[in-house]
Amino acid sequence: MYAGNTFYKDNVITNDKDSNFLCDYNQNAFDLLCKLNINKAYFDIIDFDPYGSAIEEFSLGLRLAKKGIIITLGEMGHKRWKRLDFVRKWYGIDRMEDFTSDNIIKELQKIGLRYKKELKVVFKRDYNLITRVWFEILPYKTTEQWD
């Protein structure tokens, strides 16, 4: 699943809220993910490339993604204005020194554990005011009794 224009070629479902983009869906991402979750739709990879943040959709994306999840962290743009209010609420970041993509990634990985999924960083690129991260999804073993 992908929002906007895509370089993916086969078996792709696309979505963009902006109806100027030719997509399979032109819906709010959260609403679409809810609908897909109800219909028990699953995907190998889900790619979030929002204008802003995809944190509100991330948990739903984890429910639907089987092999990987890719996310653009638009939150990094808040550093420009030294805005901590957004990252404080979602990621518990209270100081500019802690406002790093690595700390946001750690919080996303904690969300993954809630869904019994280990999120292993395969690719991370810090660009000017955004970060792009590709997580491989691995099963998270919750017990050690079978070691």
> CA nearest 73: which of 93, 58, 60?
58
Enumerate the domain spans of the chain: 2-139
For residue 12, the model assigns a pLDDT of: 87
In this prediction the pTM is 0.87
DSSP state of 21: S
pLDDT band at residue 51 under the 50/70/90 scheme: confident
> CA nearest 126: which of 88, 80, 72?
72
What is the Cα–Cα distance from 49 to 70, expressed in whole angstroms? 8
Structural element, H or E, at residue 32: helix 29-38
> CA nearest 53: which of 80, 73, 82, 23?
73
pLDDT band at residue 141 under the 50/70/90 scheme: confident
Place of tokens 């997580």: 135
Interacting residues of 44 by C-beta distance below 8 A, sequence separation 6+:
65, 66, 67, 68
For residue 1, the model assigns a pLDDT of: 45
pLDDT band at residue 100 under the 50/70/90 scheme: very high
Fold classified for 2-139 = Rossmann fold (3.40.50)
Mean predicted lDDT score pLDDT of the chain? 91
